[in-house]
Structure 1
Amino acid sequence: MDKNKLKELLIEYKKSFLANRTDLVRREVQDNMEKFIKFKEVVMITGTRRGGKSSLMKLICDDLIKKYQVPPSSILYLNFEDERFIEFNTGDFSQIYELYLQINKPTGRQYFFLDEIQNVSGWERWVNRLYENENIKIFITGSNASLLRSEISTALTGRNRVIINFPFSFREFLVFKNYRLEENDFYQTEKRAIIKSFFQEYLKLGGYPEIVKINDPTLLEQYFKDTIYRDILPRYSIKKIKEIRELCLFLASNLGSIHSYNKLLSLIGVKSINTVKSYLEILEEVFLFFQINLFDYSIKRQIYNPSKIYIIDTALGNSISFKFSENPGHIYENLVFLELKRRNKEIYYWKSKKGKEVDFLIKRGLEIDEAIQVSYNLNYKKTLDREIESLLMAKDEFRIKYLTIITEDEDIEKEIGNTKIKIIPLWKWLCIQHIFENK
């Protein structure tokens, strides 16, 4: 690549990346960013397409300048998805650092933000070489279909830390809406009504930043198509794209249901269980769907039992499946799953020998710490009794400390003997989780 053209790009990116942006929503992952900044390892930001990975880079850069007093001259940003990098090849990497030093004349530790670097072959060797420089801290984003966590581990063994970037949580959605959440808001009728109104909007729009910004969920179907045709097709040798599309539509219509490989095989008409397994692995790799296993102390039984499947964004699920919107219970369960994933919880479902099911078991260390049931409507005593019975069976089986039922609008604590069960509305649980909880 022509050296002068590359120099122009470095200067242009310096101005645009460091420009003050007031339209970006602070992400909760930034609260834990100090440990990522402090250590030497390369930070890989990955996650769903259009989930805001590049914006997160910009937010981290802002924190470096404002919170850690890093001079702007110590920051380099490059976006390798820019079509002007089409002539860039492996041999041009050495020019980047040379030009950066000429333009910026940095002092102290330097911070490199490399967006979509996987578009250039041989990037790993250059990043490894940069890593050897004690004064350079590296942040990378990568398209999920081109730069997977497993590949990072191979390229940068023991030298990387991964941040999974999700669409907006409900709390981040409230920040976008300029609503400052306070704990006392839950006890004020007017503010509670405002939060619940925003929650209905969140159910409609989901958490993709651009969708929230333009207030138009119709683009979500295009996001789905882009994931299939731009992330999956270029990377994986799939001859029958119709099969994986039909699998996606079925999964989106039946979220939170238990699916065996044999069941999915017959539904989408493939001939091999290995093909179904491969499709599900691909959908997880591109952060479109997730699987959770049945909890069992036997790893073998965990693997061979059917899994439950959830989607990256409930509004995205709505956009590709008419049936999805007809079942608010599935939407609620999916939102709870996503929040638990954002909190890095180790999640399972559980089924007793008598067939009683618990939606989520949360494992902390070697212990099952919490059991969660999600039930949209508890108006019928039979429904409440069923959910409580399942939780109590799980408590007896695993000696669980915390039992929770998440529902539409009921907010009480029930005592069954010496056992307390927290019943809480989903909108409130999404607000208080992580921010106000001290358990």
Structure 2
Amino acid sequence: MPAWENAVNAFRAEFNCDIYVTGSNSYMLSSEYATYLAGRYAEIKMLPLSFAEFLDFQDFEIQETEIPLGGIRKLIFDRNGRQYQSRELFDVYMGYGGMPGICDSELSEEKALIILEGIYSAAVLREILEREKRPGQQQITDPTLLRKIVAFLAGSIGSGISVSSIGKALTGSGLYKNTVTKGSPGVHIPPSRIPSAHTVQSYVRALLEAYLFYEIKRFDLKGKEYLRSPGKYYIADLGLRNCLVGFRDRDRGHALENVVYFELLRRGYDVAVGKADNAEIDFAAVRDGDRIYVQVTESMLGEDVRWRELAPLQGIRDNYAKIVLSLDPGLYSDYGGIKSLSIIDWLLGAVSPA
């Protein structure tokens, strides 16, 4: 609707009221719109449901009970009083994601996929492909290229990705078909069929503006500055990812990272990938001057895995909290001051810090 901001300002001036304006992309409150409403609005960014909110939306009740050896265990019951294991409900959350509409699916995979496909189509077709109608925005004119970039990012969450690597991967995947030059034994790739770095960058930026993906930068913990090395991308909802690339377990560790990243955002942290010399920490998160270092892994049961996850944290010589989150934290909860915690308990607020 043209000049909607004028109507909002008129209502604000005429009535003693609060006005809530909702939208699903960052463009709405950017550029000239921000000047029309400057000083009169507060932006509240919403995320899909957390695991705890997911359980609440599904009418599950969480009850706490004391463990004989000390500590608290959370028991989960449905509306009929049936008890469920937190792990099996977490698997459902990992599969279907946290879009509130999933609550209408009755946790049926077929119904959930229909809902997720509808959300994806609305987000891509309405918010991104129609972006070309907005003045000052580069046109998104190739739906096929857009879908391929979405699928590539969705399948590569938690991995270091550069714009150039996306273009090369798409070319190598067969999106841009090689054609044999007549009379030549070699293979010729028409330049017009290879996406330029500028084109890929504009498409990725559109996906970020639509809040479908979030980018996380690398931060040098010693130099106290952000690095130019490739960052990582995480998708706003794992259900959408599974809808796009299928359900798979081979990169479950990165999927767990995705869940932890957004939980840290919900809890008010500024999050970066921590870099210290040659070691990398999954997340270095800062809130109100306090910092926490977080490693995420599927299990801490294997000795090699424990060494891999603990070594980067052991190399950090400050006194901020350091934790490893996993589905199987093992028998020991403390490794020289580094906490090994259940990711499910952490998500449900049963353990500290953060």
CA separation of 1:278/1:347 partners in 2, compared to 1, >3 Å: closer, same or farther?
same
Residue 422 in structure 1 maps to residue 317 in structure 2: no
CA contact (8 A) 1:361 1:370 kept: yes
Q: How many residues align?
A: 310
Pairwise CA distance, 1:317: 0.7
Residues 64 and 74 of structure 2 are in contact (CA less than 8 Å); yes or no, is this contact kept in structure 1? no
- Are 1:211 and 2:102 an aligned pair? yes
Match of 2:197 in 1: 273
Question: Is the CA contact (8 Å cut-off) linking 2:220 and 2:275 kept in structure 1?
Answer: no
CA gap of 1:126–1:188, structure 2 versus 1, over 3 A, is closer
Which residue of structure 1 lines up, in the alignment, with residue 297 of structure 2? Answer: 375
Q: 341, 352, 361: which one pairs with 2:284?
A: 361
Change (3 A) 1:188 1:437: closer
Distance 1:260 1:197, change over 3 A: same
Which whole-Å deviations, capped at 9, do the CAs of 1:267-290 have from their partners, x for residues lacking one? 234543222222222111111000
Name stretches of at least 5 consecutive residues in structure 2 with no aligned partner: 77-82, 133-138, 172-193
Partner SS, residue 299 of structure 2: coil
Could you say if the C-alpha distance between residues 341 and 152 of structure 1 is closer, same or farther in structure 2, counting changes exceeding 3 Å? farther
Match of 1:31 in 2: none
CA deviation vs aligned residue, 1:120-172 (integer Å, no higher than 9, x gap): 21111121233335722211112427624555423311211111122211111
Shift of 1:324: 4.9
Question: What SS does the aligned partner of 1:347 have?
Answer: strand
2:260 corresponds to 1:336: yes
> Aligned equivalents of 1:172 and 1:304: distance in 2?
36
* Structure 1 residues 228 and 338: alpha-carbon distance in aligned structure 2, compared to 1, 3 A threshold: same
Are 2:117 and 1:221 equivalent residues in the alignment? yes
CA distance in structure 2 between the partners assigned to 1:267 and 1:261 by the alignment: 10
**SS at structure 2 position matched to 1:320:** helix
Distance 1:437 1:347 in 2: 18
Alignment equivalent of 2:210, drawn from 286, 296, 317: 286
Partner of 1:201: 92
**Offset, 1:241:** 2.0
With normalisation by structure 1, the TM-score equals: 0.64
- Work out whether residues 219 and 227 of structure 2, in 8 Å CA contact, stay in contact via their aligned partners in 1: no
| Aligned equivalents of 1:218, 1:429: Cα separation in 2 | 28
Aligned position for 2:149: 247
CA distance in 2, matches of 1:154, 1:278: 24
Q: Which residue is 1:308 aligned to?
A: 232
Maintained 8 Å contact 1:146/1:235 = no
Determine the structure 2 residue equivalent to 1:169: 50
More helix by share: 1
CA contact (8 A) 2:63 2:75 kept: no
Change in Cα spacing, 1:386 to 1:296, as seen in structure 2 (3 Å) is same
* 1:100-179 matched pairs, under 5 angstroms: 120-133=1-14, 135-144=16-25, 147-149=28-30, 152-179=33-60
Measured at CA, do residues 299 and 249 of structure 1 come closer, stay the same or move farther in structure 2, by a change above 3 Å? farther
Question: Aligned partners of 1:425 and 1:221: how far apart in 2?
Answer: 32
Q: What CA distance in whole angstroms lies between the structure 1 residues aligned with 2:289 and 2:35?
A: 28
Aligned: 1:350 with 2:274: yes
Mapped partners of 2:312, 2:345: distance in 1: 23
Q: Residue 158 of structure 2 contacts residue 232 of structure 2 at CA under 8 Å; is this kept in 1?
A: yes
Cα separation, 1, equivalents of 2:276 and 2:37: 42
- The partner residue of 1:384 within 293, 302, 306 is 306
- CA deviations over 1:230-263 (Å, ceiling 9, x no partner): 1111113112222221111111111100112221
Is this contact kept in 2: 1:253–1:324, CA < 8 A? no
Question: Over aligned residue pairs, what C-alpha RMSD do you find?
Answer: 2.7
- Structure 1 residue matching 2:43: 3-state secondary structure: strand
The answer as to 2:138 corresponding to 1:235 is no
Does 1:262 pair with 2:157?
Answer: no
Instruction: Give the whole-Å Cα distance in 2 for the aligned partners of 1:140 and 1:251.
Output: 30
Q: Contact 1:204/1:217 (CA < 8 Å) preserved in 2? A: no
Q: Find 2:322's aligned residue among 396, 403, 419.
A: 403
Distance 1:287 1:199, change over 3 A: same
Change (3 A) 1:384 1:347: same
Shift of 1:302: 2.5
Residue 80 of structure 2 is matched in structure 1 by none
Seq. identity, %: 29
The 1:177/1:222 distance shift into structure 2, 3 A limit, reads closer
- Give SS of 1:304's match: coil
1:205–1:211 Cα contact (<8 Å) kept: yes
1:387 CA displacement: 0.8
The 1:407/1:337 distance shift into structure 2, 3 A limit, reads same
Correspondence for 1:77? none
Tell me how far 1:346 sits from its aligned partner.
0.2
- The 3-state SS of whatever aligns with 1:235 is helix
Give the alignment's TM-score, normalised by structure 2.
0.79
